[in-house]
Structure 1
Amino acid sequence: MSLPASSLRLSVDTLLGPGGALQSALEAYEYRPEQLQMARSVEKAFNERGYLLAEAGTGTGKTLAYLVPALLSGRRVVVSTATKTLQEQIFFKDLPLLRERMGLTFEAAYLKGRSNYLCLHRYDAFRKDPQFASREEGRYWKHLQAWASRTETGDRSELELPESFSAWSRLSTTSDTCLGSKCPVYENCHVTRVRRAAESADLLVVNHHLFFADLALRGRGQRGEGVLPQYDAVIFDEAHALEDAAGSHFGHSVSSFRLEDLVRDALGALATTDSRFGMLSSLVVRLRTHSEALFSQAPRVLGLKEHEGAVALNPERLALLSDSIEQVKESLSALSAFTLSEHEPELTLLTRRCAELVADLSFLEKVESHDHVYWAEARGRGVFLRASPIEIARELQERLYGGVDTVVFTSATLAAEGRFDFFARRMGLYDEEGVPVASVRTVSVPSPFDFEQQSALYLPTHLPDPTAPGFIEAAAEEIIRLCEVTGGRAFVLFTSLRNMERAHALARGRLPYQVLLQGERPKQQLLEAFREVPSVLFAAHSFWEGVDVPGDALSLVIIDRLPFASPGDPVVAARIRQLEARGEEAFGGYQLPQAALALRQGFGRLIRTRADRGIVAMLDRRIVTKSYGRAFLTSLPPARRLNQLDALSAWFEGTSAPEREDDVDF
């Protein structure tokens, strides 16, 4: 890293403290002692080569609090985020501020997965015979060609393409399909350019999925070939999302999509005039026939229904598919034997892809690893067979912690009931005997917002229990009444798509505001529409976190029920069984703290600035009537608690209302 000559005088205090460089750089700057407290903790972690768990409440400025000490450390640091929004904010807003306004000199790189970039080699092949799934998709072709001729990055985000634009999978590449250095356009490849820029960068900005895809490629316990250059330290922002992201890359997965892609690429690997095409074609047709047979019968045999979650796999169920699985494996092996003797890069790559599919199918059909959970799911027209580690703790210990000596985990929600134990154990920061695997420090930095004045927590007890008949109908009526209090401007967050769709159907015709529904438009378009006029947005999982709507546009967040993960989910069920097998109490040790952290994320959508003011309404009476409800309440910010709608309305309007004991004491 190259810092200016004056860098010896730079520190987190001179940059972020009172009268420091940040204050000079920003006209509307307000000194935040919470930000400096966190920055000093991160600086200490870098100096001591240790691990840090840093919970930083909304509004503390945690991004700069970790970027400044990271850049001053003189080490190559990876910053990994859960959302594209934060990734872009860091690279296009925060880093330019540090470079241009605060006197730091450094090189940074912004990396995405290969599938985000135009593959020049596949683009050349595609444009010789462009095929589209629909006439609507075909209308984008001229626009895409013009962009391809002028783009310097090849990043799809530069294009205004629909999220469902299916042809993009044939214009981009993945770790399965990339030819690497054997590609004829390797030197001009957009991904090659990004990777080379990363090799000279001091700071790498990535997302969790790319980070763990890289870690999985490097192999267990070694630092082999990956998609990221060597790095010295890692900062995980939005670290509460790590477990799911990591688990998806440390397992095995075979899908109908994966086999369809292999068939398509194999057919395109040789020209029809090549003398070998007939043999290759017959092998591919055989593979396609057997794979279509497998995935057409799998949903019926496994009891899988579209849009109804996942089903656990067991030996008895998979035994019913054993003949079909063996036929697919034999077809893959036959294709692999043919391509093994060939020399074209596309064909030699097929050999590896076939071998990996055979290995994954073999692992899946045995269903014998006690450390993995096996399940199947249907998504759209695709069917997936999956296995992933029940816990990622050991994977992180073996793959990550032995290779880097400094790791910072940060989020607005890491602690449950004021303790970091739950998160630390899930991340493998303690071994099975409870001994830390490294020097682990914690810091909890409160939000600078005045939640007692800025927010109210509405906890009605007159609604039915969420498991009782009629709950969603009663909830819809309460949603309508609550929206009258704030004039709309509400997020209505659900723990299931079914409840979301039902409540939306019941309430939409009675709400005199713009009513939006998750899934009707892309997420960013929904947010833009929400900000334009008073609106009510019915949404589920993807709007619980990573969404920022400051100001008056959002004044009410309604949550239908406590966000316990479904025990019917195969992954959740496997984690519960594993804890119980160890003699541990799964509800208090896993389900409750996980739900408390999720609820804090939902609450966090409301207050985003010092000027914001609004209401969070929890329609699940169990938060008050059940003994475990206190665990949720103690995890939430100290908002004014009310359970009467008239008192809530008076609070929101800023008028005085007579206090009742049941309005303030839960």
Structure 2
Amino acid sequence: MQTYPTGYVESHHIAEQIFREILPRHGMAVREEQIALCHEVLDTLYNKEISLCDAGVGTGKTLAYLVGCILWQMHRPERMKLPIVISTSSVALQDAILTEYLPDLSAVLLSEGIITAPITAVVRKGKERFVCDARLAERASLVQPSRKRQRNSLHIAENILDMDHIPELSRYDRCRICVPQSCPRDCFLREDCRYQQYLRDSMKPDIQICNHNYLLADASHRQEDRPLLLRSYQALVVDEAHKLPDAARQMYTETLSPHNMDELCLLLQQAHYKDFARQMRTAFLTLSFSCTQGLSKLRGKASEPFVLTPFRRAALIDCIALLQNAGGLPDVPRYLLNRLGEAESLLRLFLLEVPTRILYIDYDADGQPTFCAASSRVPQLLRSALWNTREPAILTSGTLTAAGDFSHTEQLLGLAAYRPLRHFRADSPFNYKKKCLLYFPPRVKMQMDNRKMAEEIVRLVGACHGHALVLFTAYRQMAEVRALTDGQWTYPTYQAWRNGGKIIQKFKQSGNGVLFAAGSCWEGIDFPGDMVSLLIIAKLPFPIPDPVSDYERRQYPNLRDYINAEIIPEMQKKLRQGFGRAIRTEQDSCVVAILDERAGIGGKYHDAALAALPTCPITEKIEDVQQFIREQKRPDYFL
């Protein structure tokens, strides 16, 4: 007879009751995929395993894993109860979990007698996101009375600790009022400090919410026996898990920028080492010049693998020697010695060309170089940091598979050889065969340039009466194509650049507008209803080559193997993210047009593109697009 852990059977039974009886009484529909995901979460937690859960749009994955975690935690022995950590990529999802999902779920479960006390949670963030009361008071005293908007933001900061929720707070003010890296022990506000109180309160809740970078920073602290950033936890949920490899690459890449160099010189100057600061500044300028010598004018950002020329070697040696000498200066503050030591260690990597590092230089739009040393062992580091703890973990996203295969994600996350490893797939419950039409332009012999792309967009926008989101992989192409469509329709038209939240909101309010977008608009933004009834994907979202991808390519015997193993799966996952902007509820309907000729019928990547998307009707005729919109939309759509 099979035996189960304590609470296992009861947790699964209550999960069925919650999703099939309780939540429907409170206005929620029954979703079989959501229930299956909750059972997968419970099995993973009780068996102390790791599960990769690919959950399509509309599955309701957030509620599924929250219910599973709450039921598991509820049945844990009191002496073993520790928090559950939920790690996400976006601030928006963190806020939604804290202020919408958990309060609503807690109220329902309390009213039904499932739980006896409210569910408690806290968002954990880096100290640079919180207000320092002492620095706020100092900053507010310096702002002129005429600067009313600035004074208003600083006044709001007196009552709101989290700077992410303070409207119109400038980046400059954020830097001036945030909690410093090291709080002075003799601070006159220490006893009444809101940040210190937040730290004390954050140790109590059942659920701790953070972003991927904070999770990895905490893991690094645990490995190095430094003070923990997160309270010890017993289970981990990684939502938006497709973003974790990017966060890890960022975490395991050391950088030294011109701003960092200037800051070090300023700190030396403030510590009364003016002559040494002057020498250091000269050495840094020489080093920067050695990297820009012979560089043609850049158009936007660029990266190049680091090459150790004789000039660069000499400049590196001079900088390293000076940084080393800083340790012999009398009475240098410890924090400054640490910063100087970090800069020395990084530059030494460029001198020695360590094989476990990928060395390259990032140039900003002005041609200023940043020294970057990325780890070539990110998957191994991830496994050591997160998975070798043997605590249960659920990693979920709408794009963990590429054409139905988890292999690429397993490799990126350091789970390729991890066993036992669970897999779960829930397709979207939406009826794409009825509610979605996939359009490819008729194939032509010539490549589709920006002018032809603009003409195609004009035809599609006219056929769908606006209500369009046009996604690009590059801001430059977005601007050029947008200019070519100017004056071609009467619908309100918007262009979202980086941090384009206000523009996106105006588009949503317009009703029938056209939004040109790139970057973050490929994922994480909700466009429910008819506001996006036409989704245009200008180009297949292949990853942009950089020095790290150049290194990865050299690990494969030939280019074809590299493309099949790395490039196509990355494109497929990003394409699914973009496609997910089309249909957000059961009632939505949308035309999805992919204008890249490589994706069209007979194109080189047609099969790869289709394998990434749900099955839906395909057409090359603009008349079919017009007919689809006429059949799907209500009369008021066309007004």
What TM-score range do you get, normalising by the shorter chain?
0.7 to 0.9
| Residue among 258, 270, 275 paired with 1:256 | 258
| Residue among 515, 522, 528 paired with 2:499 | 522
| Residue among 194, 197, 200 paired with 2:198 | 194
Q: Give the structure 1 partner of residue 419 of structure 2.
A: 438
2:223 paired with 1:229: no
- Supply the distance in 2 between the matched residues of 1:286 and 1:356 (Cα, whole angstroms): 18
Task: Trace 1:243-642 onto structure 2 (pairs within 5 A).
Answer: 243-267=245-269, 279-295=272-288, 298-300=291-293, 305=298, 307-316=300-309, 319-338=310-329, 341=331, 347-378=333-364, 383-430=369-416, 436-462=417-443, 468=447, 471-519=449-497, 522-533=499-510, 534-567=512-545, 569-580=546-557, 585-623=561-599, 624-642=601-619
TM-score (norm 1): 0.84
Q: Give the structure 1 partner of residue 637 of structure 2.
A: none
Deviations 1:578-622 (A, max 9, x none): 2338x9921111111111111111100110001111111000121
- Supply the distance in 2 between the matched residues of 1:83 and 1:380 (Cα, whole angstroms): 29
Moved more, 186-195 or 448-457: 186-195
Quote the offset at 1:282 in angstroms.
3.4
Quote the offset at 1:332 in angstroms.
3.7
- Supply the distance in 1 between the matched residues of 2:404 and 2:184 (Cα, whole angstroms): 47
- Aligned partners of 1:364 and 1:386 also within 8 Å: no
Aligned-partner residue type, residue 340 of structure 2: C
- Aligned partners of 1:373 and 1:574 also within 8 Å: no
Task: Trace 1:37-52 onto structure 2 (pairs within 5 A).
Answer: 37-52=36-51
- Aligned partners of 1:391 and 1:575 also within 8 Å: no
| Residue among 92, 106, 110 paired with 2:119 | 106
RMSD: 3.0
- Aligned partners of 1:54 and 1:411 also within 8 Å: yes
- Supply the distance in 1 between the matched residues of 2:182 and 2:388 (Cα, whole angstroms): 29
2:1 paired with 1:23: no
- Supply the distance in 1 between the matched residues of 2:508 and 2:69 (Cα, whole angstroms): 35
Aligned-partner residue type, residue 174 of structure 2: W
Change (3 A) 1:592 1:331: same
Deviations 1:388-445 (A, max 9, x none): 1235210112222122421111111111121111111221112xxxxx3232111101
- Supply the distance in 1 between the matched residues of 2:126 and 2:544 (Cα, whole angstroms): 30
- Supply the distance in 2 between the matched residues of 1:429 and 1:202 (Cα, whole angstroms): 28
Q: Give the structure 1 partner of residue 89 of structure 2.
A: 82
Quote the offset at 1:212 in angstroms.
2.1
Quote the offset at 1:337 in angstroms.
3.8
Quote the offset at 1:529 in angstroms.
0.5
Change (3 A) 1:201 1:304: farther
Task: Trace 1:120-159 onto structure 2 (pairs within 5 A).
Answer: 120-123=133-136, 126=139, 140-148=149-157, 150-151=158-159, 153-159=160-166
Report SS of the residue matched to 1:199: coil
Change (3 A) 1:122 1:266: farther
Deviations 1:30-52 (A, max 9, x none): 11111000000011000000010
Report SS of the residue matched to 2:557: helix
- Supply the distance in 2 between the matched residues of 1:341 and 1:97 (Cα, whole angstroms): 55
- Aligned partners of 1:117 and 1:155 also within 8 Å: yes
Aligned-partner residue type, residue 21 of structure 1: I
Moved more, 378-387 or 92-101: 378-387
Q: Give the paired residue count.
A: 611
Q: Give the structure 2 partner of residue 55 of structure 1.
A: 54
- Aligned partners of 2:401 and 2:409 also within 8 Å: yes
Change (3 A) 1:446 1:161: same
- Supply the distance in 1 between the matched residues of 2:368 and 2:549 (Cα, whole angstroms): 22
2:99 paired with 1:92: yes
Q: Give the structure 1 partner of residue 178 of structure 2.
A: 172
Report SS of the residue matched to 1:21: helix
- Supply the distance in 2 between the matched residues of 1:383 and 1:129 (Cα, whole angstroms): 34
Unaligned runs of 5+ residues in structure 2 are 1-6, 74-81, 634-639
Change (3 A) 1:461 1:306: same
- Aligned partners of 1:263 and 1:287 also within 8 Å: yes
- Supply the distance in 1 between the matched residues of 2:542 and 2:419 (Cα, whole angstroms): 31
Q: Runs of at least 4 residues of structure 1 off by over 6 A?
A: 180-184
Quote the offset at 1:549 in angstroms.
1.0
Q: Give the structure 2 partner of residue 203 of structure 1.
A: 207
Query: Percent identity between the aligned chains?
Result: 26
Report SS of the residue matched to 1:227: coil
Change (3 A) 1:147 1:256: same
- Aligned partners of 2:440 and 2:594 also within 8 Å: yes
Quote the offset at 1:126 in angstroms.
4.5
- Aligned partners of 2:140 and 2:151 also within 8 Å: no
- Supply the distance in 2 between the matched residues of 1:140 and 1:464 (Cα, whole angstroms): 56
Quote the offset at 1:627 in angstroms.
4.8
- Aligned partners of 1:304 and 1:376 also within 8 Å: no
- Aligned partners of 1:195 and 1:228 also within 8 Å: no
Unaligned runs of 5+ residues in structure 1 are 1-5, 269-276, 431-435, 657-666
Aligned-partner residue type, residue 156 of structure 2: W
| Residue among 618, 628, 633 paired with 1:651 | 628
- Supply the distance in 1 between the matched residues of 2:152 and 2:285 (Cα, whole angstroms): 34
Quote the offset at 1:638 in angstroms.
1.4
